[in-house]
Amino acid sequence: MRAARLIKMVLLLQSRPSMTAAELARELEVSERTVTRDAQALSEAGVPVYADRGRAGGYRLVGGYRTRLTGLARSEAEALFLSGVPGALREMGLEDVASAARLKVSAALVPSVRDASRSAAQRFHLDAPNWFNEPKAPELLPAVADAVWDDRRIVARYRRGEREVERELEPYGLVLKAGVWYLCARVAGHGSYRVYRIDRFTAVEPGDERDGRFERDEEFDLPGFWDERAEQFARSLLRAEVVVRVSPGGVRRLPYTVEPGSAREALRTAAAPDGDGWVTLTLPVESEEVAHSQLAALGPEVEVLAPAELRERFAADAIRLAALYGA
C-alpha cells in the first residue's frame, strides 16, 4: 500500500542523515521514479523532504523534523525479539513485520546510536542449521506460527510411521533445533504436552476467531520444557553400553564424537588414568553399529574392550588398515 510505503520512507529518512534515490528505491522495493513521486507527495503533504542535486545528492528531512509514527504494534514488538534469527523470521513469514519494527526503533533513537542495528548485524549473525544440510522450511510452518502467536487451537494431521494421525492441539511454542522446526503443544482435552516435528504435518486447520482460542497456562516454560524433553530424548536413544580405553587425546575429542552428555557422564565416573594416561570407562551408546561408526573417528586414540563382537570388528578394521598402509 502506498500509505505504508510513504510512512516507511519518512522513517528511513528520519533514521539517516540522507539517502540517495537508489538507496530508497532498494529499501522500498520500488523504482527511482516512484521514489521521486513519493518524495513530492510527502512534500505536498507538509513533510519537509528536501532533494539535494548533483552526484553526492539525495533526499533528507530538514528542520529537525521528526514523525510521531514510531509506535510499535504488538506483532512488530514480538517480532523484534526474534530479529537476531533472520532465517527463522523469514520461514515463519515475519520478515516484513520485523523490518518495520527495527526501522521504527532506529527512527526513535538519538542520532549518535542510530547505527546500532547495523553495527550489531556486522558483528553477530546466527546460522542455525547444521553444516552440510539443505534446510527447507516446512510448508505449513507459517500457519502453525500464526496459531502460536494467536493462542489458537489447530487440528493437525501428521505422519506417524506408515499412517496418518489427527489431533486437536493447543500450540504453545516453536523450537528451531539444528535446522529442524518443532512444535511444543498440549493435546486438547488431555493436558499433556508433547513435541511434534512440523515437517511431518500434512494438514493444519486453525480454529475460528471466536471459539478457536485456548487459555494459555502462564506457568508453561518453553525453554525449560524443551531442555527436559531434549535430554529425555537423547537418553532414550542410548540403549547399549561399550567399555573402552581412551588416550589423553581421545578424552579431549570424545565429547565431539559421541553424545556429549553421555561422554561427560562416563568420564566423570571413570577410574583414574593408568600409567600411560589412558582412561577406562563405560560409555552409553545408541547401538553397537552406531558406536562402531562414532568410535572409529578416534582411530588409535581408543581401544574397545567390550563387547567382544565390537572389539572383533575393530580388530578386523585394524587388519584391513594395516594391509592398506603396511607397504
Digit-coded pLDDT (tens) for 154-176: 999 999 888 999 999 999 988 88
The CA distance from 269 to 285, in Å, is 16
Predicted confidence at residue 61, as pLDDT, reads 84
Confidence of residue 309 (pLDDT cuts 50, 70, 90): very high
pTM of the model: 0.55
Query: pLDDT > 90: what percent of the chain?
Result: 31
For residue range 223-253, what is the model confidence (pLDDT) as tens digits?
889 988 888 887 788 889 999 999 999 999 9
Average pLDDT over residues 180-184: 90
Query: pLDDT > 70: what percent of the chain?
Result: 75
Give every CB contact of residue 183 below 8 A, 6+ residues apart in sequence: 144, 148, 169, 171, 173, 174, 175, 195, 196, 198
Half-sphere exposure of 280 (CA within 13 A, CB side): 7
Predicted confidence at residue 97, as pLDDT, reads 56
Alpha helices by DSSP H, the chain: 2-15, 21-28, 32-44, 74-80, 86-92, 95-108, 116-123, 141-150, 222-237, 248-253, 260-268, 288-295, 308-325
Predicted confidence at residue 122, as pLDDT, reads 57
Q: What is the mean pLDDT of the chain?
A: 81
For residue range 11-20, what is the model confidence (pLDDT) as tens digits?
888 777 788 8
Q: Over 90: is that where the pLDDT of 21 sits?
A: no
CA angle 107, 113, 114 (to 5 degrees): 30
The CA distance from 252 to 9, in Å, is 55
* 130, 133, 135, 136: CA torsion to nearest 10: -150
Confidence of residue 39 (pLDDT cuts 50, 70, 90): confident
